[in-house]
Each structure stands twice: as C-alpha cells, then as structure tokens.
Amino acid sequence: MLFIAGSDEDALALAGHAGADTVILDLEDTVAPARKQEARRLVVACLRDRSGPATEYAVRVNAAASVEFRDDVDAVVAAGADALVIPKTQNADTLREIDTWLGSLEQRHGRRAAAVRLLPLIETPAGVLNAAAIAVATPRIDALVLGHVDLSRTLGVPETGAGAAIILHARAQLVFAAKAAGIDAIDTVYMRDDDAGFESEARQALALGFTGKLLVHPRQVDLVHAVYAPTAEDIDYARRLVAAFEAAEAAGQGLFVFEGRVIDLPVVAAERTVLARARAAGL
C-alpha cells in the first residue's frame, strides 16, 4: 500500500503505474496546512482520471476531529475513492458514525451501497488497546493498518532500540485483532533509506502474520512483492503436500505422514495460503 502525497501533482499522475496493490492518495500528514484545499482538488482529479493497473485507490483523509474531514470525505466519495484510510482511529464509535454517514453519501453520489471501504489507521495508544473492537466496528472494514511514527511520538519512545520492542508489541496486538476479525493486517512504514533494512522488516512482518505493508517510495513495491511472493521451492512443496492431503482424504484418512512430517488440517491450510499468495503474485 503506497502513500502518494496529495499535493504532488507529478506523483499523482503516475499513481496507477506504481505497481502497488493499493495507492493511498494522502491528504493528511504529507500535505502542508496551507495546501490542504489544493491537495483535495488534485486528489479528486486523480480519482476521476485514474489510469494503470492499480486495483484500489484509497485516500487518507484528515482526522475525524479536523476541520477538513467532512469536506475531504464528501469530495473523494463523489470522485470514486475505493477506500478511506482513517488516521488516528481510537475507538469503534467513530467508525460506526462514519459508516452511517457514508451510506447517505453513497446514495447521494450514485455509488452502490458499501462501495467505500474503511481502513482504520492505528497510531495511538488508545487505538492499539481498542484494536479488537475497531476491527469489527463495521462490515466496511477491510484491514487494520499500523502507523508507528505517531505511536512512538505519543508514547515518548524512540523508533529503535527499546522503543522498537514496544512497537513490536503493538504490531503483534494488531495482528491478533485483525485475524480474530477475519480481515487483513497491514504493517507500518519503513522510514530509513535502506533497502536491506526494509526487506528485513518486511520479512519480519510476514513472519508475524501481516498480510501487507505500508510503503513510502515506489521502489519499495518490488521489494515487498519479492518478500511476500513464495519461492519456487515453497510452491512445489505446497502443491505436493496439498495433493497428498487430497489423496489421503479420498482414502478416508485424516492424519497422515508426508515426507516424514505428520500432517493435519492446520498444516494443509497454511500450505494453501502459500499457494494463494503465489496466485496473487502471478506465479
């Protein structure tokens, strides 16, 4: 999920060609206060003239408590935004209020019901503590998204060293909440100019159970796709294991041994997830 500054006209023109699964046209932190209205106009134009293979156009609107919020949402819903990233989400009640309002906006602007999805950005201590309730606040929610920069600042901890351990706790809690709700968990941005460090953090995110990652630069798209795409060896093993399971199931067996490993249904489900990731990666 690639952030693109809403005030960067050149970057917006290339949004659909960045290769990201989702582009997030940003009206919040990457836009200077004096350029908020101009950025909204540029983002609306981008939504109306979208091009390229990007599967989802999301917009990070300004926070629900801001003076820009209602105008942001009204404008981008009318322009065809697929999803809204809601910054600094702290509780489920706010999302339920937004859900109700979106229903009326969709009707007014000729959008189908529930066309606009919600992606709560969890970046405050209250948001982390309420993540489980936030995840099920409304059926519009497709994923929980972690924002560690604001979270670190609010907690008063550094982003590295001991502070990283606190953020790791928040990452794990977000995964638990998202998985319990049956939705995706999107890991936080990597802020340093270090491709090796980015790949290492992306691999950690995958191991923690995250299903995607926030990006701040187009070159990170290929890096994260490479991390999340299974290897040829992974795919071959998954295919053979699933085939062996299907043969055992046809023979009336539940538990069976495959290449020296005892296999049950959770193991099969994990390998089917590998194959699903391979299909998503075009492999």
Structural domains of the chain, with CATH? 2-228 (3.20.20.60), 232-280 (no CATH)
Query: Is the separation of the CB atoms in 73 and 112 below 8 Å?
Result: no
Beta bridge mates, 26: 5, 60
Mention every residue, 6+ apart, whose C-beta is less than 8 A from residue 176.
Answer: 131, 132
Helix axes 195-208, 162-181, angle to 10 degrees: 40
Query: Is the separation of the CB atoms in 87 and 123 below 8 Å?
Result: yes
Task: Provide the residue count of the chain.
Answer: 283
C-alpha to C-alpha distance for 197 and 227, rounded to whole angstroms: 12
pLDDT tens for each residue of 21-78? 999 999 999 999 999 999 999 999 999 998 777 789 999 999 999 999 999 999 999 9
pLDDT tens for each residue of 128-141? 999 999 999 999 99
* pLDDT above 90 as % of the chain: 90
- Whether residue 254 has pLDDT greater than 80: no
- pLDDT the model gives residue 161: 79
- pLDDT the model gives residue 55: 81
* Residue 266 vs residues 243, 263, 270, 280: alpha-carbon distances, Å: 15, 8, 6, 21
Taking the model in full, what pTM does it have?
Answer: 0.91
